[in-house]
């Protein structure tokens, strides 16, 4: 072994127990390199330091290790869960990494407090119906509560909204907020177009509405024949009682549901809940396309693009040989993962990361074979017995072919976009005389100021790195202590706040570019001309930073798009790139993103200031529940502000002292 590691690290490896657990490798700068799990920590971790990995991807990673952390757990299933939670939150450099911060949407049916024993008139008058007696159907993201019904998860928001529209046509459940429900005196447009049964104005009894909710729930679970039988029974019952109008309404529901089922004939199969996973690897990039079937309905798909594909696949392949002695031939095979195995590694990484956060359905239709051990661990971790299908037939084959085709299309689109972005990055580097090697590390930060006539001034900082916008690194700064509308003062403040501490750390470290994981951007884009760049120059001179990094984007003649010029703080002449320049396209993309990010922040601040929401949130003793009760009782912040102390004290949980504090805060 040619790589020299710290003695402390080697001693720690030697002292590891032969128990299941998770290990983490760090480099000299403290950056996380790799997270792995093991049935036997001692055997697994020792294999990295007792074998020669020279000239391989594994060797490149091992040469960087200076520190290790381990966590012992009770079982390999627990190790799988911890490993993938760490991968998703810490984003190590050498793991196959699926970045996805979005939670999955659900369709929510709120709980009902009504029962057959509740003393409610069969047809309530307008204004007397209670929203808690009529469950609401809504789009939902977030933590689930046991008292409500949730259906999903769905692959995207569009799939949820399409399902809600379908249920509105067939079952006419309400979608309005409780506050809207409470203040209706006549039916809304949805009732007029036969998308709601009008519970807010007493046009449907709670018992009949509960039947519709029960049918909608059964439909979402895929029990379509049960729903049709129930609707036919209700129609005949109304007809026997000579309630022909109600019978006609149920008949129309049956007709609408039959139309839906006919349109979705391909989906009406014996399968209820299935995930279809297709994978494609090409050009060092990969795409996993996840299609979801819930309640027998194909809900659509969602594409995922992992990072660190090739490095992570090699290390994942090594994991399979845990505790075994690798021959030179086997080591060479592990170091050069073939494309078919690469697809398997990517799919296994996706399943491990995805299904440790989202419960899997019982049936998985897979585009590549995966490790039986992984399926066993996922079954143990989730409590759901998984049935994998590797070579599907009939409708499952059609589903997989469709998912595979979408994976091919999405990966082709990604490669085309990345090629375009790389060309734009190179063009900008050439225009600014920057070195063209290492463009993956080129970092650009762009600043913009937004306000409304001086009100709620917000500065934005967006980041471009690795040929794409890095939204996780965006920052907003609320600007205060300046003359309203003074953009120069706002720019001065945000640059001081952004780079002041970093500049001091660089001076203390004696490094002109980087401190630990933090580093100065290669380019600082300022959305503005000579004036804004002049302010930025003053800040950088005061901080002792390189003026060559500052570039302003000045509007051209007539402020027309495509006529922008680049302005420099170090005395260079202006540069006009040309309307068709790839470099200008990249600059415009980054600048427009900074403008969008600043405007959305400013509007949120302005809305808070105008509604008084922030004052209510800042009152000591008013938490989310009390705030919700106040807003519900008085119809919003303005209603709370117009209420007297005595009125405020009538709300549950609001004492007279707290009511006085709220009144003072809002006045």
pLDDT at residue number 609: 55
pLDDT at residue number 25: 92
pLDDT at 528 over 60: yes
Q: Which region among 19-33, 291-305, 397-411 has the lowest average model confidence (pLDDT)? A: 291-305
pLDDT at residue number 271: 66
Q: Which two tokens stand for residue 48?
A: 């990295």
pLDDT at residue number 525: 92
pLDDT at residue number 290: 92
Mean pLDDT of 118-139: 69
pLDDT at residue number 259: 63
| Chain center to CA of 632 | 30
pLDDT at residue number 216: 86
pLDDT at residue number 126: 45
Q: Which two tokens stand for residue 307?
A: 């990072």
Residues 6+ apart with CB under 8 A from 9: 65, 66, 67, 68
Q: Who wins on pLDDT, 443 or 167?
A: 443
Domain segments of the chain as ranges: 7-90, 106-267, 439-609, 612-666
Q: How many CB atoms lie within 10 A of CB 69?
A: 13
pLDDT at residue number 332: 44
Q: What is the dihedral of CA 319, 325, 327, 332, to 10 degrees?
A: 20
Q: How far is CA 181 from CA 133, 204, 211, in A?
A: 11, 14, 20
pLDDT at residue number 52: 65
pLDDT at 565 over 90: no
The span from the CA of 603 to the CA of 572, in Å, is 37
For the packed helices 339-354 and 309-319, what is the interaxial angle rounded to 10 degrees? 90
Terminal alpha carbon distance of the chain: 73
Q: Which region among 137-151, 338-352, 596-610 has the lowest average model confidence (pLDDT)? A: 596-610
The span from the CA of 475 to the CA of 459, in Å, is 9
Provide DSSP, 388-407.
Answer: EESS--HHHHHHHHHHHHHH
For the packed helices 224-240 and 206-220, what is the interaxial angle rounded to 10 degrees? 160
Q: Which CATH class is domain 7-90?
A: alpha beta
Nearest Cα residue to 550 out of 540, 559, 542, 560: 540
pLDDT at 611 over 70: no
CATH of span 439-609: 3.30.420.340
Mean pLDDT of 7-24: 89
> Which DSSP symbol is given to 97?
B
Q: Which two tokens stand for residue 211?
A: 């039947």
pLDDT bracket for residue 536 (50, 70, 90): very high
The span from the CA of 200 to the CA of 134, in Å, is 9
pLDDT at residue number 590: 92
Chain segment 568-598, per-residue pLDDT in tens: 888 888 888 777 788 888 888 899 999 999 8
User: In terms of DSSP H, where are the helices of 355-393?
Assistant: 372-382
pLDDT bracket for residue 334 (50, 70, 90): very low
pLDDT bracket for residue 269 (50, 70, 90): low
pLDDT at 476 over 70: yes
pLDDT at residue number 121: 47
Q: Is the peptide bond before 436 cis (omega within 30 degrees of 0)?
A: no
User: What is the three-class DSSP state of 283?
Assistant: coil
The span from the CA of 324 to the CA of 121, in Å, is 74
Q: Who wins on pLDDT, 507 or 43?
A: 43
pLDDT at residue number 263: 46
Domain 612-666 has CATH 1.10.3720.10: no
Q: How far is CA 75 from CA 42, 110, 148, 388, in A?
A: 15, 38, 33, 23
pLDDT at residue number 235: 81
Do residues 453 and 604 make contact, with C-beta atoms less than 8 angstroms apart?
Answer: no
Q: For 167-284, where are the E strands, in sequence order?
A: 274-282
pLDDT at residue number 132: 86
* Percent of the chain scoring above 70 in pLDDT: 84
Q: Who wins on pLDDT, 302 or 337?
A: 302
pLDDT bracket for residue 617 (50, 70, 90): low
pLDDT at residue number 328: 43
Do residues 32 and 90 make contact, with C-beta atoms less than 8 angstroms apart?
Answer: yes
The span from the CA of 407 to the CA of 370, in Å, is 18
pLDDT at residue number 130: 84
Q: Which region among 251-255, 317-321, 628-632 has the lowest average model confidence (pLDDT)? A: 317-321
Please provide residue 666's backbone torsions phi and psi, each rounded to the nearest 5 degrees: -95, 0
Computed over every residue of the chain, the mean pLDDT equals 81
Beta-bridge partner residues of 600 = none
Q: Who wins on pLDDT, 164 or 628?
A: 164
pLDDT bracket for residue 318 (50, 70, 90): low
């Amino acid at each position: 072994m040619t790589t020299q590691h710290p003695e402390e690290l080697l001693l720690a490896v030697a002292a590891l127990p032969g128990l299941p657990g998770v290990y983490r490798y760090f480099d000299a700068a403290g950056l996380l390199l790799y997270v792995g799990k093991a049935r036997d920590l001692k055997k697994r971790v020792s294999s990295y330091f007792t074998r020669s990995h020279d000239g391989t991807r594994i060797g490149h990673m091992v040469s960087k290790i200076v520190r290790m952390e381990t966590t012992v757990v009770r079982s390999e299933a627990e190790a799988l869960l911890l490993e993938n939670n760490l991968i998703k939150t810490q984003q190590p450099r050498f793991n196959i990494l699926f970045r996805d911060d979005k939670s999955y949407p659900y369709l929510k049916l709120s709980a009902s407090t009504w029962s057959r024993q509740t003393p409610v008139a069969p047809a309530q008058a307008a204004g007397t119906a209670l929203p808690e007696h009529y469950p609401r159907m809504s789009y939902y993201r977030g933590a689930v509560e046991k008292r409500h019904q949730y259906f999903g998860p769905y692959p995207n928001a569009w799939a949820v909204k399409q399902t809600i529209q379908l249920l509105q046509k067939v079952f006419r459940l309400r979608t309005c907020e409780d506050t809207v429900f409470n203040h209706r005196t006549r039916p809304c447009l949805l009732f007029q177009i036969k998308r709601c049964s009008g519970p807010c104005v007493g046009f449907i009894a709670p018992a009949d509405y509960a039947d519709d909710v029960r049918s909608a729930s059964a439909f979402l679970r895929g029990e379509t024949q049960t729903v049709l039988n129930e609707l036919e029974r209700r129609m005949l019952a109304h007809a026997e009682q000579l309630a022909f109008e109600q019978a006609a309404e149920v008949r129309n529901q049956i007709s609408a549901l039959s139309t839906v089922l006919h349109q979705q004939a391909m989906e009406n199969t014996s399968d209820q809940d299935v995930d279809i996973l297709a994978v494609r690897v090409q050009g060092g990039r990969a795409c996993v396309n996840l299609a979801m079937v819930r309640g027998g309905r194909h809900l659509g798909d969602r594409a995922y693009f992992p990072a660190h594909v090739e490095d992570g696949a090699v290390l994942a392949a090594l994991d399979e040989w845990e505790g075994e002695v690798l021959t030179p031939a086997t080591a060479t095979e592990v170091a050069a993962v073939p494309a078919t195995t690469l697809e398997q590694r990517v799919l296994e990484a996706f399943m491990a990361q995805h299904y440790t956060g989202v419960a899997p359905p019982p049936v998985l239709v897979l585009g590549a074979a995966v490790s039986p051990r992984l399926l066993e661990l996922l079954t143990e971790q989730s409590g759901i017995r998984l049935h994998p299908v590797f070579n599907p037939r009939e409708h499952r084959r059609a589903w997989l072919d469709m998912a595979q085709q979408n994976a091919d299309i999405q990966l082709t689109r990604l490669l085309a976009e990345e090629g375009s972005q790389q060309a734009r990055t190179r063009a900008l580097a050439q225009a600014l005389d920057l070195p063209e090697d290492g463009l993956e590390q080129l970092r650009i930060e762009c600043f913009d100021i937004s306000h409304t006539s001086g009100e709620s001034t917000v500065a934005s900082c967006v980041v471009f790195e690795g040929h794409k916008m890095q939204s996780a690194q965006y920052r907003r700064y609320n600007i205060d202590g300046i003359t309203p509308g003074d953009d120069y003062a706002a720019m001065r403040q945000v640059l001081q706040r952004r780079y002041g501490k970093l500049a001091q750390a660089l001076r203390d470290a004696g490094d002109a570019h980087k401190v630990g994981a933090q580093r100065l951007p290669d380019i600082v884009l300022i959305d503005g001309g000579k004036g804004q760049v002049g302010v930025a120059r003053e800040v950088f001179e005061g901080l002792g930073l390189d003026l060559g990094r500052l570039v302003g984007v000045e509007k051209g003649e007539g402020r027309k798009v495509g006529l922008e010029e680049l302005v420099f703080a170090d005395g260079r002449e202006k540069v006009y790139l040309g309307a068709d320049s790839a470099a200008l396209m990249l600059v415009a993309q980054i600048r427009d993103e900074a403008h969008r990010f600043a405007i959305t922040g400013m509007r949120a601040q302005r809305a808070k200031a105008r509604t008084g929401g922030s004052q209510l949130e800042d009152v000591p003793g008013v938490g989310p529940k009390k705030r919700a009760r106040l807003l519900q009782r008085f119809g919003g912040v303005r209603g709370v502000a117009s209420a007297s102390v005595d009125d405020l004290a009538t709300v549950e949980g609001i004492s007279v002292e707290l009511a006085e504090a709220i009144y003072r805060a809002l006045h």
